[in-house]
Amino acid sequence: MTASLYWYLREFARIEWVRKFFFARTAPLVTPAHFRGFPEPTGKACQHALSCMMVCPAVGAIDVVHEGDGWKPRIHKGHCIRCGLCVEACPNGVLMSGRVLETMQAQGTALLVSFRIAIDRDLCTGCGNCVTACPVNKQIDAQLGAGGHSSNDEVIMRVDDGDVQVLHEEKCTGCKTCETSCPTRAIQIARILEGIQQPVEGVGP
Amino acid sequence: MKRTVDVNIPLGPIHPCFKEPARVKCETKGERVIAAEVELGYMKKGIERIMKGRPWQEVMFLAERVCGICSVIHNMVFIEAMEQISGIAVPPRAAYLRVVANELDRMQSHLLANFSYCYTIEHETLAMYLLDLREQVMDLLERLTGARVTCAYMIPGGVRCDIHHEDQAFMHESLDRIETELQRYTGMFENGPMIALRSRGIGILTQEAAREAHVVGPTARASGIAEDRRTQHPTYKQLGFTPVVRPGCDNYARIMVRFDEVSQSIRLIRACLDGLPKGIIRGGGICKAGEIRYSGEAPRGELTYSIKTDEVGRVAEIQIQTPSIMNIEACCHSMIIGADSIADVTATFVSADPCIACTER
């Protein structure tokens, strides 16, 4: 009895015990360097390539907006799933997330984004909504007619003889505005992604 | 008139022993269970419908959100199915790194399953030890992929990022520590007399009954069926993989199979890291049109994706077949029947490691 009482007194009189009892703190939450967090701007100027917006798997998590005198990616953290695809898809290294950017720069990996326009001829009525809705078309040909007719050969698509013709698929930015404006869902934009690697000399395994 | 059933006891859908909602209805006579039935459908997500019409970069993230515990294998099976459709070759280094990520995921899933069994049989100490061990595995997964659960590590033609040199050393060091601790906990489970009383000879699933119920994964391997999809995977073939089989047929065998598979995973990861081929990690390649039915071994058993893609590589049709539904059915029809108490019902149900999120998708 006396021995155990003595043991308890000695145990609880220890300075470490007293300190732990009265000043217990949870360890601070530190995000480790290897964690793939929300994308953040690196400070490089956005070139308005829009790849980040087009590959994002979470709808509405990232958009590129015109602010002041330049473009800027804006991240909505409530929607972002922290996948890091936007960081890999950006050709100019505007975004960073954890160590995704430095790893991909060291290893020469990248994601190539391209777009394909598919028109279902059976469904297409030739109304020209897609042609007039397309923001790139508007920029190229300001005189674009309401029926989708254009005399400019540089537009992405135009209505010829009551049918939509795709002329320059490579100019498509994948925004899907045409897809949403089509009354019969005849036009569809495919966002195609390819993971590539060009190993950097002297770096790697 | 003689009554055959005394009480119909429902367990769940919200029950402290179950990780996810499911209802097990037991018809009992005294404490003895004479029939059981499982009611599912509390968390249907309709994820296959959401996947339709989307390209791989969107479906990949949906696929790993089918199940939170075995997310890496969902990603892996989907991406490998897309690769098979499009004829994309994977660089050897990427194939090895995929195995590392997959085995780390299997380790954490098995440790969680064993935690949950130990917790159900009220051995809370061992359960918490196992949960602590799982946390160390999760840290390794985070080091490799950048995220703990939704890793999104594999893409068609390779993996997202290479393993860093310092991480490789850290991984070796951690695996040594994990292995020592795992041996200690396995010994605690193997030799614990009270654990044996709660586990040995309880929840018997004979080999015939297991074959009849089409049981898969560790539940099948604990009934003496050497069935593992990894034996047909090319990278695992290179590593000389052989499945762990136990003839025990009871709860104890199922948990021990998982413990053995965790140490087997450690050996596989070590073999991968030691023999990691040099070279690139991404081969490129664009997804094409096609149709395939492709399977892989999830921590709970065989996982199958049936995919049909359109000409630009978008998923036109998709069906996912997950392992847990067979195990749950086997649980009701064979394992639970004849249990001596209701406490054994929860333990048996948990020992089959049912994943309701996978099952209902």
Q: With an 8 Å Cβ cutoff, are B282 and A99 in contact?
A: no
| Domain ranges across chain B | 47-333
The pLDDT score that the predictor gives to residue A96 is: 87
Q: With an 8 Å Cβ cutoff, are B146 and A194 in contact?
A: no
Q: With an 8 Å Cβ cutoff, are B58 and A57 in contact?
A: yes
Q: With an 8 Å Cβ cutoff, are A197 and B276 in contact?
A: no
Burial state string for A91-122 with b = 16 or more CB within 10 A and e = fewer than 16: eeebbbbbbbbebbebbbbbbebebbbebeee
> Between A and B, how many residue pairs show a Cβ–Cβ distance under 8 A?
88
Using an 8 Å CB-CB cutoff, list residues of chain B that contact chain A.
55-58, 60-62, 93, 142-143, 145-147, 150, 152, 155-158, 160-162, 164, 167, 276, 278-287, 311-314
Q: With an 8 Å Cβ cutoff, are A196 and B284 in contact?
A: yes
Mutation site, B52, B54, B57, B82, interface A, largest A CB count within 10 A: B57
pLDDT band, residue B4 (cuts 50/70/90): low
Q: Which of A103, A116, A194 sits opposite B161 (nearest CB)?
A: A103
Q: How far apart are CA B268 and CA B286, in angstroms?
A: 30
Give 10-residue mean pLDDT values along chain A (205 residues): 84 85 84 86 84 86 86 89 88 86 84 86 86 85 78 82 83 85 87 81 49
- Chain B contact set for A187 (CB, 8 A): none
The pLDDT score that the predictor gives to residue B75 is: 92
Q: How far apart are CA B143 and CA A36, in angstroms?
A: 10
Tokens of A150: 């254009």
Q: Kindly provide the residue ranges of all beta strands, DSSP E only, lying in chain A, ordered along the sequence.
A: 40-41, 62-67, 70-75, 95-96, 109-119, 157-160, 163-166, 187-197
Nearest of A47, A48, A51 to residue A192 by alpha carbon? A51
The pLDDT score that the predictor gives to residue B2 is: 56
Q: What is the pLDDT of residues B71-123, one digit of tens each?
A: 899 999 999 999 999 989 899 999 999 999 999 999 999 999 999 999 988 88
Task: Name the class of domain A40-107.
Answer: alpha beta
- Chain A contact set for B278 (CB, 8 A): 204-205
- For the CA atoms of B62, B63, B64, B68, the dihedral, rounded to the nearest 10 degrees, stands at 90
| Domain ranges across chain A | 40-107, 117-190
- Tell me the backbone φ, ψ of residue A101, rounded to 5 degrees: -65, -50
**Amino acid at the residue A23:** F
Among 3.90.230.10, 1.10.645.10, 3.30.70.20, 3.40.470.10, name the CATH number for the domain at A117-190: 3.30.70.20
Report which of residues A18 and B15 the model is more confident about.
A18
Report which of residues B279 and B176 the model is more confident about.
B176
Q: With an 8 Å Cβ cutoff, are B146 and A84 in contact?
A: yes
Q: How far apart are CA A106 and CA A198, in angstroms?
A: 10
Q: Which of B147, B279, B312 sits opposite A36 (nearest CB)?
A: B147
Q: Which of B58, B282, B313 sits opposite A195 (nearest CB)?
A: B282
Q: What is the pLDDT of residues A40-90, one digit of tens each?
A: 888 888 888 888 888 888 888 888 888 888 888 888 988 999 888 889 888
Mutation site, B52, B98, B160, interface A, largest A CB count within 10 A: B160
Q: Are the CB atoms for B152 and B61 separated by under 8 Å?
A: yes
Tokens of B284: 């490129």
Q: With an 8 Å Cβ cutoff, are B146 and A35 in contact?
A: yes
* Greatest C-alpha distance within chain B: 77
Judge residue A155's burial from the number of C-beta atoms within 10 Å of its C-beta, 0-12 exposed, 13-18 middle, 19 or more buried: buried
Task: Name the class of domain B47-333.
Answer: mainly alpha
Q: How far apart are CA B205 and CA B203, in angstroms?
A: 6
DSSP lists the bridge partners of residue A188 as A118
